[in-house]
């Protein structure tokens, strides 16, 4: 449980009279899960016009947000209580925006100076201003790095557009 959740739960009046996070009305027993789902969760989904969503889907959301925040899969596996990483991989989904960001990292050139941040625009401008040839990692060098046999054709073949 992180600090934000702990603070929110600590502010609930039920925390003063029950050891349960979600207590029953008496505070002596935990809240019945089916009762909560029928009286609170489903009406909240209907009110928000959310369709095709189950309580269990929140585990997928939890795993996915951890993965996109950079938490390693083994830690996510432990938090979810999974025995195998294969099961964790079924839960941790990356958003399309996160996947796009991963692919866009290929556009970021290597730094001109050691210690400079990757993608530093001054790195490209500095090399261009000095009349230097493109260096590894420069966007202008991307075509040079492509393997001719990576087009799905036989080894050594070239795409029609490049062979003319």
What residue numbers bound the domain in which 39 lies?
Answer: 3-47
Eight-state DSSP code of residue 23: B
Judge whether 161 lies within some domain: no
Same domain? For 121 and 151 the reply is yes
Statement: residue 88 has pLDDT above 60: yes
Judge whether 12 lies within some domain: yes
Judge whether 164 lies within some domain: no
160 falls in which pLDDT band (50, 70, 90)? very low
Hey, how many other C-beta atoms are within 10 angstroms of the C-beta on 66? 19
Judge whether 137 lies within some domain: yes
What percent of the chain is modeled with pLDDT above 90?
30
Same domain? For 117 and 89 the reply is no
Judge whether 138 lies within some domain: yes
Q: What digits encode the pLDDT tens for the residues 72-82?
A: 999 999 999 99
Q: CA 4, CA 97: separation in Å to the nearest integer?
A: 26
Same domain? For 72 and 98 the reply is yes
Angle between helices 73-80 and 57-68 (to 10 degrees): 150
Judge whether 9 lies within some domain: yes
| Residue bearing tokens 């001109």 | 112
Q: CA 135, CA 110: separation in Å to the nearest integer?
A: 9
Eight-state DSSP code of residue 30: B
Q: What digits encode the pLDDT tens for the residues 43-55?
A: 999 999 999 999 8
Same domain? For 43 and 61 the reply is no
What's the confidence (pLDDT) of residue 84? 95
Helices (H), 33-156: 33-36, 42-47, 57-68, 73-80, 85-91, 96-104, 121-129, 142-145
**pTM given for the model:** 0.54
What's the confidence (pLDDT) of residue 142? 42
| 103: region left, alpha or beta (phi > 0 left; psi from -120 to 50 alpha) | alpha
Q: How far apart are the first and last CA of the chain?
A: 61
Same domain? For 116 and 150 the reply is yes
Confirm if 32 and 43 have CB atoms less than 8 A apart.
no
Q: How many domains does the chain have?
A: 3
Judge whether 52 lies within some domain: no
What's the confidence (pLDDT) of residue 78? 96
Same domain? For 12 and 35 the reply is yes
Same domain? For 99 and 114 the reply is no
Same domain? For 90 and 124 the reply is no
Judge whether 75 lies within some domain: yes
Q: What digits encode the pLDDT tens for the residues 108-157?
A: 777 666 666 665 555 545 544 555 555 555 544 444 444 444 444 444 44
């Amino acid at each position: 449980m992180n600090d934000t959740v702990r603070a929110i739960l600590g502010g609930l009046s039920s925390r003063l009279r029950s050891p349960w996070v979600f207590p029953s009305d008496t505070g002596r027993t935990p809240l019945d899960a089916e009762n909560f789902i029928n009286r609170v969760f489903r009406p909240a989904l209907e009110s928000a016009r959310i369709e095709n969503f189950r309580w269990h889907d929140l585990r997928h959301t939890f795993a996915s947000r951890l993965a996109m925040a950079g938490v390693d899969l083994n830690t996510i596996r432990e938090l979810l209580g999974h025995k195998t990483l294969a099961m964790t991989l079924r839960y941790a989904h990356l958003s399309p925006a996160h996947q796009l960001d991963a692919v866009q990292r290929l556009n970021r050139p290597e730094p001109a100076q050691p210690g400079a941040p990757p993608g530093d625009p001054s790195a490209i401008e500095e090399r261009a201003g000095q009349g230097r040839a493109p260096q590894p990692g420069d966007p202008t060098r991307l075509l040079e790095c492509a393997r001719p046999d990576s087009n799905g054709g036989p080894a050594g073949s070239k795409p029609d557009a490049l062979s003319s």
